[in-house]
Amino acid sequence: MGAMDFRGRHVLITGASSGLGLEMARELARAHGAHLVLVARRRERLEELQGELERSYGVQVTRIVADMTRAEDVDRVIDEATRGQELYAAILNAGVTFFGHALEIPDSELRALVETNLMSTTRLANAFARYLMERQNGGGIMLVSSVAGISPLPYQAAYAATKAFLNSYGQALAEELRGRGVTISTFAPGGIDTEMAQKSGITSSSSSLKAFLMPADRCARLAIEGFRARKTFFVPGPFYRLTALISRVAPPGLVAWQAGNIYRGSLPKRG
């Protein structure tokens, strides 16, 4: 299959209300003329983005307000996104983190983290993969994972574990569906300058990683470029590609120790 062509086609993006998802929506509308299906919980943010994209680029935009922690909302997204329009691509980007000691995560937050990052992403990937295989329109799915999923990450232990699942699942699914008319890409960025980075301790004044945060619009451009080229697994930018390589070849205990040292200084102070 040649490169993907998003022009005049419908692309769904979860987590489109801020950060990377919002910038990927802008990039797809501006540079590729794609029609968009935007998904997130914050209705006003989606309305604002819809207005901006329709006015500036003349593309069609629809919104689905949905909470990825709720199985019935995930079902509704599958139903609404595939009714009345032919979907060409789905970017499964919604995600949350918990920054702090692993033992201190409240059960409700752990459940929300697993449901959002892992369960909803997997269910949407499977449903859209079946849909795209039936259509044979040359489209594909991109899972937004993280370099944090390559090795253990102290103080974001549960988050990194969900991303390890996605890295593994995405690449396995890509292999299972090879030659079946649908592309499965897994995108694994490092630190990006978004609301999530603020929550993950990276932007705290003492964090040495702050200088390595990638602007969200640059990360979005690289994400769409790799997806378009049908890359199976990719990491944006030389710094995080090197980080990914080291994480793969170094002993996991050593990587965890080093990452723990970096993040420990940024932990929220206990009241």
For ligand NAP, the binding residues (CB under 6 A) are: 15-21, 40-42, 45, 67-69, 93-96, 116, 144, 146, 189, 191-192, 194-197
Task: Tell the smallest beta-carbon distance from residue 88 to ligand NAP (Å).
Answer: 21
Measured in whole angstroms, the distance separating CA 131 from the mean position of its chain's CA atoms is: 20
Task: Tell the smallest beta-carbon distance from residue 132 to ligand NAP (Å).
Answer: 21
Task: Tell the smallest beta-carbon distance from residue 32 to ligand NAP (Å).
Answer: 19
Q: For residue 56, give Cα distances in angstroms to 29, 44, 50, 85, 131.
A: 9, 18, 10, 22, 31
Task: Tell the smallest beta-carbon distance from residue 117 to ligand NAP (Å).
Answer: 6
Is the CB of 136 or the CB of 206 nearer to ligand NAP? 206
| 88: annotated active-site residue | no
From 159, 169, 240, 263, the catalytic residue: 159
Contacts of 255 (CB under 8 A, 6+ apart): 151, 152, 246, 247
3-state secondary structure 27-46: HHHHHHCCEEEEEECCHHHH
Q: What distance separates the 2 farthest-apart alpha carbons in the chain? A: 56
Walk across the sheet containing 183-187 and list its strands: 61-65, 35-40, 10-14, 87-92, 140-144, 183-187, 233-234
Distance, in Å, from the CA atom of 49 to the CA atom of 18, rounded to the nearest integer, reads 10
- Where in the sequence numbering do the catalytic residues fall? 159
